[in-house]
Amino acid sequence: VLVAEDEPVNAEVTRAMLVYYGIDVVMARDGEQAVAEHARQPFDLILMDCQMPGMDGFEATRRIRDAEHSSGLTRTPVVALTAHAMAGYREQWLLAGMDDYLAKPYTQEQLEHVLNHWLNNENGLPAGETSE
C-alpha cells in the first residue's frame, strides 16, 4: 500500500495501522513522490492525502490515472484521506479519479473496512496476515 501523507504524525499513525495487519507500506511525503513511487512499482491500494503542499492529492491522482491509461496499467484503487467529508468534496474526489475516502481522523476499524473492501479480502485482515 502506498501512503501519500505530508503530516508526519498522520503518516506514522497510518503506517502503524497498516503494519499491524502485516501490510507492506511505502510512504510518500507529497504528490510528486506518490506519482514517482507509483511509476516505480505496482500497488494494491493508494491512500492519498488531498491537501499536501506542492502537488496535492487531486493532481497526483489525475497524473496516476493518466499514466495508467497511457501505459495500459491496471487501475489502482485510490482512497482520499481528508478532513473535508462534506458532500461537495465527493465530486472533487471522483473527478480526480479517486475511488473512496476516509475522513480524518479515522479509526482502526474504519481503515480496516476500507482495506477489506479494496483489497478484496472477504475474511478480513487479522493481525499478522500480509497484503501489499
Residue 103: is its pLDDT beyond 60? yes
Closest CA to 104 of 43, 23, 21, 13: 13
pLDDT band at 95 (very low <50, low <70, confident <90, very high): confident
What was the pLDDT predicted at 128?
41
Model pLDDT for residues 21-72, shown as the tens digit of each residue: 999 999 999 999 999 999 999 999 999 999 999 999 999 999 999 999 999 9
CB within 8 Å of 30: residues ≥ 6 apart? 4, 6, 52, 53, 54, 55
Handedness of CA 70, 73, 77, 78 (dihedral sign): negative
